[in-house]
Amino acid sequence: MNTIKRLYSRALPLVLIIGLTLLWPVLGLAQSYALGDIPLDPETYARYERSFPDQAADSLPSSYDARNYGLVTPAKNQGNCGSCWAFAATGAFESHLLKQYGGSASDLSEQQQVSCNTGQSGCCGGSATSIKFWETQGPIYESCGPYKESSTSCPTKSTEPCSNMNSCSQLSARVTGFYTVTPTVDQMKTSLYNDGPSYWRYDVYNDFYTFWNSASAGTVYKNSGSTFSGGHAVLLIGWDDAKQAFLCKNSWGSNGGPQKDGTFWIAYSGHTKNLNIGMANFKLTGGGTHPSLSSLYDASVYQAYANFYNKLSLLYGSSTYRYYAYIYQMYAYQYLYSAYSKAPSGSSSRNYAYYAYYYGYYAYVYAYYSYVYGSTAYAQSMAYYAYQSRIYAAYAQYYAALNM
C-alpha cells in the first residue's frame, strides 16, 4: 500500500485534468498530442492489485517485442480528444484476441468506449478500469463504430451518441480477471509476457513532447524535469534490458515518434520526476471461433471416411477400398497438422492436436502401405493409429470449442 501511495501521490482529480486539457492550446502544445489518463486512486489500485512470484521473472528473456509474435495492431491517432485511455484499452483487447485465440488482427472501435462507457469521461479522460466495460458486453468493430472525435476537445465528452452503435454486432469475447500490476519492472514484464500487451499509464512532462518530435530512432526517453502536462495511457508491448527501457505503442499517429511507427522507448528508472507509472491487465473468455476448430472438424470428417473404407478393405480385401482409406487418411493428416499449427502456443487444444497429428501421420503411412502391399497387418496398424488419432483430435476439438 505504501508503494502505491508513493507512486500516486501526484495523482490529480478529474477537474484539474480537464483544466489542463483546456490549457494545452494556450501552452503551445500540439492539440493532436492530447492526454487524458486519470490515474486510479491508491485504494482502487490496491484493491485490484496482483503480484506475480518473484521467480517468475527469472525465465524472462532479456528483450521482448510482442510485435515479433504478431500480437500488436498498428498505432492509431486519438486527435484532440483526451481519449488515450480508450485507445490503450482497445489496443489491449486487440492484442489479447491475437494472443489467446490467434487468427487475423481485429480493428476494434475506440468510439464505443468514448460514447458508451458511462463510467469514464470521454474526451475529458478515463482510466484503466475502462477495460472492465467489456466484462458484460463485447467490443464492436471500427467499421461499425468509427472514431469521430479527432477534433473534439474537453469539456465536450463526445459528439457521437452511443445509440448510433446499437445495431453493431458485438464480439463474443469478454474480459475476465481484470487486475492492476504491482508497479515494478519485473512485475510489469511478467504481466506483459504472460497475459499480453496491455494498458500502461504515466505522467507526461513537457520534455516528452520534445523527445517525441525530435529524438532519433532507438533513443530512450528519460525525464529531465520540466512542467507537468497530465496523465497519458499507452500500450506496453516490450522491453530491452540492454536499453533499460520499456517499449510502448502510442496513440498519436501511425507514423509519429522517434521510430516513425507510433512507438517509443521509456526508461525503467532514473527519471527526475516521479512518473507515477501504473499498469492493468486481464484475460479473455468466450471468444469466437478458435483458429484450429475448422481444421479439426475437417480432419474428423476425413478420419471417419478413412475408418469406414479401411474396415471395408479388411472385410472384402478390396484394393479400391484400401486406396480410398489411404486418400482420406492423407487428407485427415494434413488437416490435423493445420489444426496443430494454428492453435495458440501453450493451449490445451494445441497439446492434444499435436498427438492427434502425430498418430494421424502414422495412420496415413500404414494406410499407404496397406494400399501398396495389400497387407491385412498394415490395415490393422492403420486402424490402431487412426483410433488413437481420433481420440486426441476429439480432446483437441473439445478444448478448441472452449477456446483453451
Q: Report the 3 state secondary structure along the chain.
A: CHHHHHHCCCCCCHHHHHHHHHHCCCCCCCCCCCCCECCCCHHHHHHHEECCCHHHHHHCCCEEEHHHHCCCCCCCECCCCCCHHHHHHHHHHHHHHHHHHCCCCCCECHHHHHHHCCCCCHHHCECHHHHHHHHCCCCCECCCCCCCCCCCCCCCCCCCCHHHHCCCCCCCCEEEEEEEECCCHHHHHHHHHHHCCEEEEEEEECHHHHHHHHCCCCCEECCCCCCEEEEEEEEEEEEECCCCEEEEECCECCCCCCCCCCEEEEECCCCCCCCCCEEEEEEEECCCCCCCHHHHHHHHHHHHHHHHHHHHHHHHCCHHHHHHHHHHHHHHHHHHHHHHHHCCCCCHHHHHHHHHHHHHHHHHHHHHHHHHHCCHHHHHHHHHHHHHHHHHHHHHHHHHHCCC
**Which one from 84, 116, 123, 124 is the annotated catalytic residue?**
84
Catalytic residue (choose from 81, 117, 154, 232): 232
| 84 noted as active-site residue | yes
Q: Which of 250, 281, 310, 403 is catalytic?
A: 250
Annotated catalytic residue 255: no
> Catalytic: 80?
no
Residues carrying an active site annotation: 84, 232, 250
